[in-house]
Amino acid sequence: MEITLPNFKLSLGDAPKQVRKLSDMRNFFSDKAAVIQGLKKGDPIIYEVYAVENDFPGGLCYAVTVINPGDIAGEYYMTKGHFHQKDAGEIYIGLEGKGMLILQNRKGEMKNLTIEPGKICYVPGDFAHRSVNTGKSKLKFLAVYTSESGYDYATIEKSGFKEKVIRV
């Protein structure tokens, strides 16, 4: 089943913006020396998240993430990535650009999906998820998740993902 929307426009109103710069990502990129080196030249924005959060039981939240193109010692710009504190699925819909969605569960099993305009990706509730911009332009996607999911960044910050996405 396919739908073509010629003049598609997506509006999140005045959703607040979160900015993640390289300095916020020190513990997430693999090459720590390259991060330190990069920070000597500046503190580039890696990605921005425009999120509408509805914090009530049974509620849904939604966010557009914009990841800039670029890499740190070959590792493409990406989100921090997180597990949900409470297992609950999430939907991603690609809007612009080209990327990958890296999924890994607590047993270490991986799944990789592509993110591209119009593509819907399902994140199972027990999988950590990280999105990666593998293209030359901004990667933009919409995510929908439950109000009760919560964020566990600490596990990924400590142990990372088993796979990293690098420029070849």
Distance CA 112, CA 120 (A): 13
Please identify which residue in 71, 77, 81, 161 interacts with ligand M6P, judged by CB under 6 A: 81
Alpha helices in 25-125 (DSSP H): 32-41
Binding partner selected for residue 164 from ligand M6P, Zn ion, none, CB under the kind-specific 5 to 8 Å limit: none
Cα separation of 137 and 54, whole Å? 31
Phi and psi at 25, nearest 5°, equal -110, 10
Convert residues 33-72 into a mask of x (bound to ligand M6P by CB under 6 A) and - (unbound): ----------------x-------------x-x-------
97 binds ligand M6P (CB under 6 A): no
* 77 belongs to the binding site for ligand M6P (CB under 6 A): no
Q: List binders of Zn ion among 85-104 (CB under 5 A).
A: 90
Please report how close the Cβ of residue 31 comes to ligand M6P at its closest, in angstroms: 19
